[in-house]
């Protein structure tokens, strides 16, 4: 049996230890020893983009918070018009390096697409200062609104954070938020802050059975 090997290590600004580990062609990103995402189970990351980026118009501008394994960016680019742009925001520089290196081919090298604008920084800061800028926002920066890996992201799921997300969207724009588990009251909170909200249960694999994740979607009226 082939052993798991460490392909990369990093520490996020809040002290979370990140590891990129590999085994027989598969890669997994772990946070403090817990698996966050893998190249074998990434269907829900594709669905995150599909929920947010359907029916985009020419010149659309979208933002992805959290690069992960690059699958959400890759799926968003497939749906993005040629004249559109995708702003990819990632806090940890090593995660960007992994996506330019051993992970690049899994999502068809989305960072090399000419429509991609890459920012190494805090997505909460960009959302705070953006006004009516994005046709879609996709957030995959934690395990969910309460199962936080990075505490600085908790603001995104507060009333003020959701109001800022709404403010960053153009009229009719959509937000999609990835979560490892259901958060029964989160749709109510999204609606309270002016978003037409729904939750969707999606499989980690594109096949019957197995782990299911949750994607919360909202649309600005």
At 208 the pLDDT is 66
Name the percent of the chain lying above pLDDT 70. 95
- Which two structure tokens, joined as six digits, stand for 69? 């394994």
Cα–Cα distance between 88 and 75 in angstroms, integer?
Answer: 12
- Mean pLDDT for the stretch of residues 92-105: 97
DSSP-derived 3-state class of residue 81: coil
Chain segment 6-42, per-residue pLDDT in tens: 999 999 888 889 999 998 899 999 989 988 889 988 9
Contacts 24+ apart (CB under 8 A), 190-197: 190/162, 190/216, 190/218, 192/159, 193/159, 193/162, 193/163, 193/166, 194/163, 194/166, 194/220, 194/221, 195/162, 195/165, 195/166, 195/219, 195/220, 196/221
pLDDT for position 149: 56
Supply the pLDDT for residue 209: 64
Q: What one-character DSSP code corresponds to residue 142? A: S
* Residue 14: per-residue pLDDT: 84
Looking at every residue in the chain, the average pLDDT score rounds to 92
pLDDT digits (tens, 9 = 90+) for 102-132: 999 999 999 999 999 999 999 999 999 999 9
Residue 152 has pLDDT above 70, yes or no: no
pLDDT over 90 (residue 189): yes
Q: What is the pLDDT of residue 94?
A: 98
Two structure tokens written together for 87: 């702003």
Distance CA 57, CA 90 (A): 25
pLDDT at 173 over 80: yes
Distance CA 77, CA 80 (A): 5
Q: What pLDDT sits at residue 1?
A: 62
* Cα of 176 vs its chain's centroid, Å: 8
| Phi, psi (deg, nearest 5) at residue 158 | -85, 170
63: nearest Cα among 106, 103, 119: 119
Confidence (pLDDT) at 124: 94
Are 196 and 142 within 8 A, CB to CB?
A: no
Q: What's the mean pLDDT in 88-100? A: 97
**pLDDT tens digits along 57-81:** 999 999 999 999 999 999 999 999 9
How far apart CA 165 and CA 217 sit, in angstroms, is 12
């Amino acid at each position: 049996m082939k052993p798991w090997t460490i392909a990369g290590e990093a520490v996020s600004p809040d002290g979370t230890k990140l590891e990129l580990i590999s085994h027989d062609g598969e890669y997994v990103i772990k946070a403090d020893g817990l698996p966050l995402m893998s190249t074998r189970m990434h269907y829900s990351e594709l669905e995150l983009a599909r929920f947010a980026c359907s029916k985009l118009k020419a010149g659309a501008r979208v933002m992805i918070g959290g690069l992960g394994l690059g699958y959400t960016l890759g799926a968003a680019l497939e749906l993005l018009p040629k004249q559109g742009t995708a702003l990819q925001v990632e806090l940890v520089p090593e995660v960007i390096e992994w996506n330019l290196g051993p992970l690049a081919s899994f999502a068809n090298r989305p960072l090399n697409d000419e429509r991609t604008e890459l920012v190494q920084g805090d997505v909460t800061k960009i959302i705070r200062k953006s006004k009516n800028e994005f046709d879609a926002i996709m957030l995959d920066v934690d395990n969910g609104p309460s199962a936080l890996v990075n505490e600085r992201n908790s603001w995104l799921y507060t009333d003020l954070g959701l109001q800022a997300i709404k403010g960053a969207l153009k009229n009719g724009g959509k937000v999609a938020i990835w979560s490892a588990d259901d958060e029964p009251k989160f749709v109510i909170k999204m609606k309270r802050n002016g978003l037409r909200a729904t939750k969707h249960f999606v499989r980690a694999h594109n096949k019957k059975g197995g782990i299911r994740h949750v994607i919360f979607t909202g649309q600005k009226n």
